[in-house]
């Protein structure tokens, strides 16, 4: 299968050999994990196996695969046209030399990673994609999609930078254009009933993730932050129906744990806010939880932002459904928007709901939108007396010792506050 996808087999083998020991250290060594995590462990161990095989079967039957890098791409339209939508990962330092041959060195690691995965021919998901959908969110990404266009079939959606009426009209027309693009790619017209069914399918996945997230409000939390983050990461590439079923099974078990007072850790509860943590980026959560904290929320795209809002499935016709899709996606409070008052507000609500003792603001190096927006986050948390630790990091392991020292000092400060 790998050969037929045109992968660089040696580089791919090297990548796969890194995952089991890392996974053992970060995940399998955790004590008292819910049994329901077995499915998600399997999904990681099989990350380049079963799901890729499903994509190949889908393609062999004439289906199309669409890859995305951002929450703004309305996957409902891909599903309604009979396609499969995959959130590509970009969470590891891979193919750096190849990426740096076309991009500057000082660009956000997420952008460098997606270019690296493509240029080094290492990701079977990327190589399975018939179309990559980019967006005009941050400057680095939108310019990188121009470069990526030389190596892959790319469609770029114009995401506005404000939420004015004019911006909404522009975005609505982009949603319509995307529908046409997908219809052309798949050769299938999107019907109202197919779109309605796709909306319901994606909403069901969002509901399951929301149920899981809310269970983390319990004290003690019935699941570690690392496990919850992993489930959120897998949501981007697994089959949405199977995934929702497995998350709901996990939640049934977590509800029993909450009832029996079973949970993880006893240290300070932390909400992590900021840049997306794509699989296999577990660095910040691992540092926090191995220092005694429990992460109870991810105010991020791989996290709350992906499932907070649902699409209204009750549109009476195609126009109403497309309106509902445009409106739902425009609610996303990405730092690429200006002004972006919703994000600090959502974060404060989340801290309250999850009974978090403090916030860690996580920025990827060279990410201007999130690093600069940290100013408003800090201002808003300060008003409420919520402690904040600001972290700026990359995908490397070189700064782990330094992060640990800063995290331990922060947790000690919180421990004194909450009497842990």
Report if residue 279 touches ligand SF4, rule: CB under 6 A: no
Burial of 290 (0-12, 13-18, 19+ CB in 10 A): middle
Nearer to ligand SF4, 23 or 282 (CB): 282
Which positions from 15 through 74 interact with ligand SF4, judged by CB under 6 A?
A: 70-72
Q: How far is CA 256 from CA 210, 215, 222, 242, 262, in A?
A: 17, 11, 9, 22, 8
CB 160 within 8 A of CB 146: no
For residues 111 and 126, give the distance between their C-alpha atoms in angstroms, rounded to a whole number: 14
Computed from CA positions of residues 266, 268, 271, 273, in that sequence, does the dihedral angle turn out positive or negative? negative
Task: Tell whether residue 115 is a contact of ligand SF4 (CB under 6 A).
Answer: no
- Interacting residues with ligand SF4 between 123 and 142 (CB under 6 A): 137-138, 140-141
Q: Least CB distance from residue 125 to ligand SF4, whole Å?
A: 16
Our CA angle for 212, 327, 329, nearest 5°, is 50
Q: Which of 229, 352, 335 is nearest to 279 (CA)?
A: 229
State which residue, 23 or 72, has the beta carbon closest to ligand SF4: 72
* Three-class secondary structure of residue 44 per DSSP: helix
DSSP state letter for 26 = I
Judged by CB under 6 A, the stretch of 28-36, 147-155, 186-194, 361-369 that binds ligand SF4 is 361-369
Shortest CB 197 distance to ligand SF4, Å: 25
**Smaller CB separation from ligand SF4, 133 or 190:** 133
- Give the angle subtended at the CA of 103 by the CAs of 101 and 106, to the nearest 5°: 115
The answer to the question of residue 82 lying near ligand SF4 (CB under 6 A) is: no
Q: Which stretch binds ligand SF4 (CB under 6 A): 77-85, 106-114, 227-235, 247-255?
A: 106-114
Nearer to ligand SF4, 137 or 224 (CB): 137
Smallest gap from residue 362 Cβ to ligand SF4 (A): 10
Q: How many CB atoms lie within 10 A of CB 79?
A: 22
Exactly one of 99, 198, 347, 367 binds ligand SF4 (CB under 6 A); that residue is 367
Of residues 369-388, those binding ligand SF4 (CB under 6 A): 369-370
Minimum CB separation from ligand SF4 for residue 231, in Å?
18
x/- site string to ligand SF4, residues 394 to 413, per CB under 6 A? --------------------
Cβ proximity to ligand SF4: between 70 and 264 the closer is 70
Q: Which of 204, 336, 389, 403 binds ligand SF4 (CB under 6 A)?
A: 336
> Least distance to ligand SF4 from the beta carbon of 336, Å?
5
Which residue of 88, 92, 99, 334 would you call a contact of ligand SF4, by CB under 6 A? 334
Question: Tokens 């890729």 label which residue?
Answer: 52
Cα separation, 271 vs 48, in Å, equals 31
Phi, psi angle pair for 223, to nearest 5°: -145, 145
Q: What is the DSSP string of 274-312?
A: ES---TT--HHHHHHHHTT-EEEEEESTTTHHHHSS---
Q: What character string, x for contact with ligand SF4 (CB under 6 A) and - otherwise, covers 283-312?
A: ------------------x-----------
Query: Residues touching ligand SF4: how many (CB under 6 A)?
Result: 20
**Near ligand SF4 by CB under 6 A, which window of 105-113, 124-132, 185-193, 203-211?**
105-113
Instruction: Say whether residue 86 binds ligand SF4 (CB under 6 A).
Output: no
State the SS3 of 209-276: HHHHHHHCCCCCCCCCHHHHHHHHHHCCCCCHHHHHHHHHHHHHHHHHHHHCCCCCCCCCEEEEEECC
Beta carbons within 10 angstroms of residue 219's beta carbon = 15
Contact range with ligand SF4 by CB under 6 A, out of 15-23, 164-172, 192-200, 362-370 = 362-370
* Contacts of 342 by beta carbon, 8 Å cutoff, 6+ apart: 331, 333
Residues that bind ligand SF4 (CB under 6 A): 70-72, 108, 110-111, 137-138, 140-141, 275-276, 301, 332, 334, 336, 364, 367, 369-370
């Amino acid at each position: 299968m790998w050969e037929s996808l045109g992968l660089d087999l040696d580089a791919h083998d090297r990548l796969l050999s890194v995952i089991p020991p890392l996974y053992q250290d970060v995940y399998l060594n955790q004590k008292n994990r819910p049994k329901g995590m077995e499915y998600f462990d399997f999904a990681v161990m099989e990350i380049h196996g079963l799901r890729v095989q499903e994509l190949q079967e889908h393609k062999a039957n004439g289906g199309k695969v669409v890859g995305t890098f951002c929450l703004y791409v309305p996957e409902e339209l891909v599903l309604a046209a009979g396609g499969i939508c995959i959130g590509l990962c970009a969470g590891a330092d891979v193919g750096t030399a190849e990426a740096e041959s076309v991009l500057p060195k000082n660009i956000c690691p997420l952008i460098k990673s997606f270019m690296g995965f493509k240029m080094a021919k290492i990701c079977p998901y990327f190589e399975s994609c018939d179309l990559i959908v980019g967006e005009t969110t941050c400057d680095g990404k939108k310019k990188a999609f121009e470069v990526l266009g030389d190596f892959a079939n790319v469609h770029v959606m114009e995401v506005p930078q404000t939420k004015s009426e004019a911006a909404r009209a522009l975005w609505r027309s982009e949603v319509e254009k995307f529908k046409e693009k997908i219809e052309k790619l798949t050769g299938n017209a999107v019907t109202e009933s197919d779109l309605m069914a796709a909306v319901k399918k994606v909403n069901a996945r969002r509901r399951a993730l929301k149920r899981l997230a809310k269970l983390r409000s319990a004290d003690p939390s019935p699941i570690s932050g690392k496990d919850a983050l992993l489930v959120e990461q897998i949501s981007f590439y697994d089959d949405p129906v199977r995934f929702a079923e497995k998350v709901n099974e996990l939640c049934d078990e977590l509800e029993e744990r909450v009832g029996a007072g079973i949970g993880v850790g006893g240290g300070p509860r932390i909400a992590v806010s900021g840049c997306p943590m794509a699989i296999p980026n577990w660095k910040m959560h691992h540092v926090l939880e191995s220092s005694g904290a429990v992460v109870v929320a991810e105010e991020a795209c791989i996290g709350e932002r992906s499932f907070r809002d649902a699409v209204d499935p009750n549109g009476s016709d195609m126009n109403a459904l497309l309106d509902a899709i445009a409106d739902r996606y425009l609610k996303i409070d990405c730092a690429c928007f200006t002004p972006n008052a919703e994000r600090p507000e959502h974060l404060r609500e989340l801290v309250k709901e999850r009974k978090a003792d403090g916030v860690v603001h996580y920025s990827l190096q060279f990410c201007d939108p999130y690093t600069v927006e940290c100013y408003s986050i800090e201002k808003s948390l300060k008003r409420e007396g919520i402690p904040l630790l600001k972290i700026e990091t990359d995908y490397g392991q070189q700064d782990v010792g330094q992060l640990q020292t800063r995290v331990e000092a922060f947790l000690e400060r919180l421990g004194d506050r909450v009497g842990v």
